[in-house]
Amino acid sequence: MRAARFHGRGDIRIDEVPEPEVTPGTVKIEWCGICGTDLHEYQQGPIFCPTPDHPHPLTGECSPVVLGHEFSGAVVELGQDVNDLLVGDRVVVEPRMVCGVCPPCLSGRRNSCHKAATIGLQGGGGGLAEFVVVDRSLVFSIGDLPFETGALVEPLAVAHHAVSQAALKPGQTAAVFGGGPIGLLTVCMLKARGAGKVILVEPSTTRRNLGIQVGADHILDPLSQDVNEHIQSLTAGYGVDIAFECAGLNVTLAGCLAAVRAGGTVVNIAISGHPLSVDMLPVVLKEISIIGTICYADDHQPVIDLLRCGSLSVEPLITKRIDLANLVREGFETLATSTEKHVKILVHP
Amino acid sequence: MRAARFHGRGDIRIDEVPEPEVTPGTVKIEWCGICGTDLHEYQQGPIFCPTPDHPHPLTGECSPVVLGHEFSGAVVELGQDVNDLLVGDRVVVEPRMVCGVCPPCLSGRRNSCHKAATIGLQGGGGGLAEFVVVDRSLVFSIGDLPFETGALVEPLAVAHHAVSQAALKPGQTAAVFGGGPIGLLTVCMLKARGAGKVILVEPSTTRRNLGIQVGADHILDPLSQDVNEHIQSLTAGYGVDIAFECAGLNVTLAGCLAAVRAGGTVVNIAISGHPLSVDMLPVVLKEISIIGTICYADDHQPVIDLLRCGSLSVEPLITKRIDLANLVREGFETLATSTEKHVKILVHP
């Protein structure tokens, strides 16, 4: 079968690889993937992809690894003992394998597993291949949802988990700093979960406009507007209840700390490659909580429920559709050269 | 009457000033104070003390201001309409005046008041004077507690509030980074409120030993021990539930982030004069909550209750007793030159 594999920085190839086979307790899925977060790996990697020098501690695999952790598909074969799915069922995959025995796993925080491996990045096959075989426990039915929508469940689960970390109460105000894919999905998720005013802070005009399409009540351009003055004015001088840091910069984290009310919460979603310079004084004086969030755990089902009841309008974020054969040229290269214009590019089998 | 007043950096004088008079709703108190946190003002001030160029926005006062915000005393006169106290009652004061009308005040977070003024630092008299007159609402009876113990209620309220911010559950493990006065009182408070293992990290031998006297189960010297290796070993590799940052340094904040378990909490008590360099990666990967804490609000009464039932052993932290006349030479100068040896120096009237 054909599969997109990461060989090294700037080197992703569509390879012919053996078809994976079902084993007891697994499910074989024919895919429909999204090309998005793998971009960093293509441009700056290997970041998460294991190298021959350092095979992944959980999967034992190293490059070339199959890519694609955001995907949906149809069940084509069921392994022994899998009796609660049918061939043809539309499904999505929670692409995280965990060790199950480290302190975080044992204390119910599997998303912080010391050895966690992401399927489609660190071994175990991936969504950007004709077929993938995964453990039944990682598979979620999406009913009659379109495959295209299903392919967005994984990044939506990241946003769902981030909003859960913030313990959002209906009606609360929020600011999202950074309108990349996760920032925009967070805007969308906030509105679906009952947030009041949602303010998106993002320099790109295209992305600000997408923000409006997925539910932002206000958009601010940090390059031409005094962001904090506007946020304080929009919240009668109280500040927002919650700010989401989706950019990983000194200036955006400082913006979050300035934006929140006394007792407010800053959720740090972004992963920054270097230490940030943080003025802790507002954290102390306003008694802010800065909360980290990573991936998801028990978030896929609620996301599917929200999609099925029509609460999430994510279609505007699928900005292009391509074939697997054109993944590099029309997918990664397009994302790399026009990040402003594209959010999620759907890859059809 | 005599009062210790801050005139400028390195310039604290025992001045003769007019005795304050009671007005309706106020209480006049004869004092017994502690010389502690004012040290920073003496050495590096004015930090919090208002200057003639910038009178305090709430009190309208500027230097010279009377010092002393940690004190207890006896009621000597009651203003009109104060009917629930008696002359002679032993009391302590919550030395924070707030505006009552800013967003934090209106949303029940008066300790983050935009204009908050500390009595004994920013106007309104202070504890290091023969008498002080304060609003009834700031006065708390301590029953038959000794004045010396009462003088520690204010810094204990800081520790009480910090532990409340952490939402400590009985039996949880904690690490305290920095064994200054607040760090040591936090150790003491953690044990009183049911913490399990409490680990104090502090380079001074004297202070580590004081830590043991106030309840620390383990002490670690960051200059000669691998702190995180020991903390992980003391917690079976899970990490502590809560870490308290009581030093305000890059290295101690990083130590806190390394020390806590997945889903753990870091409470930032220290106030740092400059931005810190923070690696946010552990915050994200372990989903840590960093929570700021400032002063107290509704913490004085529970502290008094804990002292009265004998749960807090703070006596070892009173390391010297002096007279007001000797405040500068035996108080501030002693603290400045032997910070290792002294924690709280009691100033008798």
Give the gap in angstroms from C-alpha A120 to the nearest C-alpha of chain B: 19
Average pLDDT over residues A68-75: 94
The pLDDT of residue B33 is 82
What confidence category does residue B204 fall into, taking pLDDT thresholds of 50, 70 and 90?
very high
The pLDDT of residue B212 is 97
Contacts of A268 in chain B (CB under 8 A): 280, 283-284
Same domain for B244 and B142: no
DSSP E strand boundaries for B80-213: 90-93, 96-97, 117-118, 131-135, 139-141, 174-177, 198-201
Q: Is residue A17 part of a domain?
A: yes
Cross-chain CB nearest to B112 (options A268, A285, A291): A285
Give the gap in angstroms from C-alpha B239 to the nearest C-alpha of chain A: 9
Cross-chain CB nearest to B294 (options A236, A268, A284): A284
Same domain for A179 and A111: no
The pLDDT of residue B35 is 72
The pLDDT of residue B273 is 81
Q: Is residue A65 part of a domain?
A: yes
Q: Is the pLDDT of residue A349 over 80?
A: no
Q: Is residue A86 part of a domain?
A: yes
- A302-338 burial code (b ≥16 CB/10 A, e <16): bbbebbeeeebebebbbbbebebeebbebbbebbeee
Residue A228 forms contact with B (CB below 8 Å): no
Which CATH number belongs to the domain containing residue B196 in this structure? 3.40.50.720
Compare all CA atoms of chain B with the CA of A110 and give the residue at the minimum distance: B262
**pLDDT tens profile A281-334:** 999 999 999 999 999 999 999 999 999 999 998 999 998 899 999 999 998 888
Percent of chain B with pLDDT over 90: 86
The pLDDT of residue B230 is 98
The pLDDT of residue B265 is 98
The pLDDT of residue A223 is 97
Are B279 and A275 inside 8 Å of each other by CB? yes
Q: Is the pLDDT of residue A50 over 80?
A: yes
Q: Mutate which of B109, B284, B289, B296 to test chain A, going by most A C-beta atoms within 10 A? A: B284
Give the gap in angstroms from C-alpha A254 to the nearest C-alpha of chain B: 11
Average pLDDT over residues A45-64: 93
Q: Is residue A303 part of a domain?
A: no
Same domain for A280 and A201: yes
Q: Is the pLDDT of residue B41 over 80?
A: yes
Cross-chain CB nearest to A275 (options B104, B237, B278): B278
Residue A104 forms contact with B (CB below 8 Å): yes
Q: Mutate which of B47, B109, B112, B182 to test chain A, going by most A C-beta atoms within 10 A? A: B112
The pLDDT of residue A272 is 85
Are A275 and B280 inside 8 Å of each other by CB? yes
Please list, in sequence order, all residues whose beta carbon lies within 8 angstroms of the beta carbon of residue B307, skipping any fewer than 6 positions away.
B142, B145, B149, B150, B153, B156, B314
Same domain for A164 and A283: yes
The pLDDT of residue A30 is 86
Same domain for A145 and A8: yes
The pLDDT of residue B149 is 93
Same domain for B126 and B142: yes
Q: Is the pLDDT of residue B7 over 90?
A: yes
Residue B178 forms contact with A (CB below 8 Å): no
The pLDDT of residue B225 is 98
Q: Is the pLDDT of residue A36 over 80?
A: no
Same domain for B62 and B38: yes
Residue A167 forms contact with B (CB below 8 Å): no
Q: Determine the residue type at A32.
A: C
**How many A-B residue pairs are in contact by the CB < 8 A criterion?**
137
The yes/no answer to whether this complex scores an ipTM above 0.90 is yes
Residue B223 forms contact with A (CB below 8 Å): no
The pLDDT of residue A40 is 83
**pLDDT tens profile A162-211:** 999 999 999 999 999 999 999 999 999 999 999 999 999 999 999 999 99
Q: Is residue A305 part of a domain?
A: no
Are B271 and A281 inside 8 Å of each other by CB? yes
What confidence category does residue A34 fall into, taking pLDDT thresholds of 50, 70 and 90?
confident
Average pLDDT over residues B177-186: 96
Return the higher-pLDDT residue of A349 and A251: A251
Give the gap in angstroms from C-alpha A78 to the nearest C-alpha of chain B: 34
What does the H/E/C string look like for A240-282? Answer: EEEEEECCCCHHHHHHHHHHEEEEEEEEECCCCCCCEEECCHH
Task: State the DSSP H helix or E strand holding residue A321, giving kind and residue range, or none if neither.
Answer: strand A318-323
Return the higher-pLDDT residue of B289 and A32: B289
Same domain for B184 and B230: yes
The pLDDT of residue A340 is 75
Considering only residues 109 to 128 of chain B, which have any Cβ-Cβ distance to chain A shorter than 8 Å?
A: 109, 111-112
Query: Cβ(B210)–Cβ(B236) under 8 Å?
Result: no
**pLDDT tens profile A231-282:** 999 999 999 999 999 999 999 999 999 999 999 999 999 988 899 999 999 9
Q: What's the domain count of chain A? A: 2
Cross-chain CB nearest to A283 (options B103, B282, B292): B292
Cross-chain CB nearest to A284 (options B104, B261, B268): B268
Phi, psi angles (nearest 5°) of residue A205: -60, -45
Same domain for B127 and B243: no
Contacts of B271 in chain A (CB under 8 A): 280-281, 284
Q: Is the pLDDT of residue B333 over 80?
A: yes
Please list, in sequence order, all residues whose beta carbon lies within 8 angstroms of the beta carbon of residue A88, skipping any fewer than 6 positions away.
A74, A75
Percent of chain A with pLDDT over 70: 99
Cross-chain CB nearest to A268 (options B103, B237, B280): B280
Whole-model pTM? 0.95
Q: Is the pLDDT of residue B200 over 90?
A: yes
What crossing angle do the helices spanning A181-192 and A205-213 adopt, rounded to 10°?
20
The pLDDT of residue B40 is 83
Compare all CA atoms of chain A with the CA of B115 and give the residue at the minimum distance: A285
Which CATH number belongs to the domain containing residue A120 in this structure? 3.90.180.10
The pLDDT of residue B113 is 97
Neighbour count for residue A2 (Cβ, 10 Å) = 16
Same domain for A129 and A20: yes
What's the domain range around A148?
A: 2-152+314-348
Best CA proximity match to B127, nearest among B330, B327, B341, B335: B327
